[in-house]
Amino acid sequence: MAKPIVACVVGTRPDTIKTAPVVLELQKYRDVCEPMLIATGQHREMLDQALHAFGIRPDVDLDIMRVGQTLSEVTSRALDGLERTFKERKPDFLLAQGDTATTFVASLAAFYHRIPFGHIEAGLRTPTIDDPFPEEFYRRATALVSGQHYPPTHWAKENLIREGHPTESVFVTGNTGIDAVLRIAEQVPQDWLPDHQGRVFLVTTHRRENWGEPQKRIAQACRILVDRYEDAVMVVAMHRNPIVRETLESVLGGHPRVRLIEPPEYARFVKLIQRATLILTDSGGVQEEAPAFGIPVLVLRETTERPEGVERGNAKLVGTDKDLIVQEAIRLMEDPAAYEAMSKSASPYGDGLAAPRIRFLALGALGVETPEVPMWES
């Protein structure tokens, strides 16, 4: 009998990083399944960088990215590409992660083709469908067609149950992003700022809802902070998006202790997280990774679909108000007890075994028995 094809679909940096552990896990079970990796190429360079970090290659590359692409174009090109792929080789099970356009389109294509779908990092929610835009819509819509949901935490599970998804389809696995970050942190030697003894502020900001004025206020706050602490170096890992870069360059460019750098590849970025004194970010993934190393995070957003880090005291929501960002950062830098309280190493998002749990569940849905890993007690 032919082995079932289990396909993972990726398209951007975060969904690739968080899907990679599942791809690698499925590859260990090639005797009972045929793993397949489909890349839409939604974000070309950052996707390739992320794949490279894990030494994996797509079996199918739809290469859809175009300069200045709109969300509608990404959606239609990805759907068209998946349609062609499924006509050639229809997977028996499809997996995609999180809240990207690629993930939403993969779930829609799976629905059209009646392919069972498993959603990695299911159940994250904010109260409003357009914040974060468009991700909140993508993850809610993806849940509608998922046969199996893999929420990282119990909070995410409860969100799904509240929406009416059957309990028996919802499995708390932990976040595969923790599998990824622990794996990479082990592999790579420390290689950042070897001669710098002082503080390191690590900054990333790319969210669409922060483009323009909010991002400008973030950059201004960063400038005030780096000016205040003369021993500090501020590393700003810039997203490839030109709108984001323009704002950051106009406010922070030319400062002798601000390094506006191209997005480092994942392994180097993880080393930067570990080296950071304080992280200021609007990234979802970074909010999850930093607590694993006990690095305090100021979240540059008004809402978060990741309340667990805030509840455990590893992260604090500061939004995009310049004065509030500065005030919170100063408090942490100048009140050792406040800093200490936010630096406890914790794992609110996973224990590093999410991928084997997902492998067990997805293959189990196809009637293929593989070793079980007890579900995660978050």
In angstroms, rounded to a whole number, what is the distance separating the alpha carbons of residues 222 and 260? 12
Helices (H) and strands (E) in the chain, counts: 15, 12
- Point out the catalytic residue in the list 13, 207, 217, 239: 239
Cβ proximity to ligand UDP, 11 vs 116, nearer residue: 11
Check if 239 is active-site: yes
Quick one: which of 17, 251, 295, 298 contacts ligand UDP (CB under 6 A)?
17
- Point out the catalytic residue in the list 140, 208, 255, 257: 208
Contacts of 325 (CB under 8 A, 6+ apart): 217, 218, 221, 280, 298, 300, 318, 319
Segment lying near ligand UDP (by CB under 6 A), choices 137-145, 191-199, 222-230, 280-288? 280-288
The residues pairing with 203 across neighbouring beta strands, listed in sequence order, are: 236, 280
Q: How far is the CB of 121 from ligand UDP (least distance, A)?
A: 10
In angstroms, rounded to a whole number, what is the distance separating the alpha carbons of residues 349 and 343? 16
Cβ proximity to ligand UDP, 294 vs 364, nearer residue: 294
Q: How far is the CB of 166 from ligand UDP (least distance, A)?
A: 28
Cβ proximity to ligand UDP, 238 vs 368, nearer residue: 238
285 binds ligand UDP (CB under 6 A): yes
Check if 208 is active-site: yes
Q: Decide: 293 and 282 in contact? Cβ < 8 Å.
A: no
Segment lying near ligand UDP (by CB under 6 A), choices 71-79, 217-225, 246-254, 264-272? 264-272
152 binds ligand UDP (CB under 6 A): no
- Point out the catalytic residue in the list 121, 136, 179, 305: 121
Segment lying near ligand UDP (by CB under 6 A), choices 57-65, 260-268, 311-319, 362-370? 260-268
Quick one: which of 117, 155, 171, 269 contacts ligand UDP (CB under 6 A)?
269
**Dihedrals φ, ψ of 10, to 5°?**
-130, 160
301 binds ligand UDP (CB under 6 A): no
Q: Decide: 280 and 325 in contact? Cβ < 8 Å.
A: yes
- Point out the catalytic residue in the list 15, 135, 289, 305: 135
Residue-wise burial string across 72-109, b where 16 or more C-beta atoms lie within 10 A, e elsewhere = eebbebbbebbeebbeeeebbbbbbbbbbbbbbbbbbb
The residues pairing with 117 across neighbouring beta strands, listed in sequence order, are: 94
Q: Decide: 95 and 362 in contact? Cβ < 8 Å.
A: yes
How do beta strands 200-204 and 278-281 pair?
parallel
Segment lying near ligand UDP (by CB under 6 A), choices 87-95, 102-110, 258-266, 336-344? 258-266
Check if 121 is active-site: yes
**Total of residues contacting ligand UDP (CB under 6 A):** 16
Nearest to 338 by CA among 346, 329, 347: 329
Q: How far is the CB of 257 from ligand UDP (least distance, A)?
A: 19
**Token pair in block for residue 321:** 């108000």
Quick one: which of 7, 8, 13, 54 contacts ligand UDP (CB under 6 A)?
13
C-alpha angle 316-320-325 in degrees, rounded to nearest 5: 55
Check if 99 is active-site: yes
In angstroms, rounded to a whole number, what is the distance separating the alpha carbons of residues 357 and 55? 22
User: Residues 204 to 223: which contact ligand UDP by CB under 6 A?
Assistant: 204, 206
Quick one: which of 237, 258, 317, 353 contacts ligand UDP (CB under 6 A)?
237
Would you tell me which residues interact with ligand UDP (CB under 6 A)? Answer: 13-14, 17, 177, 204, 206, 237, 263-264, 266, 269, 283-286, 289
- Provide the annotated active-site residues: 99, 121, 135, 206, 208, 239
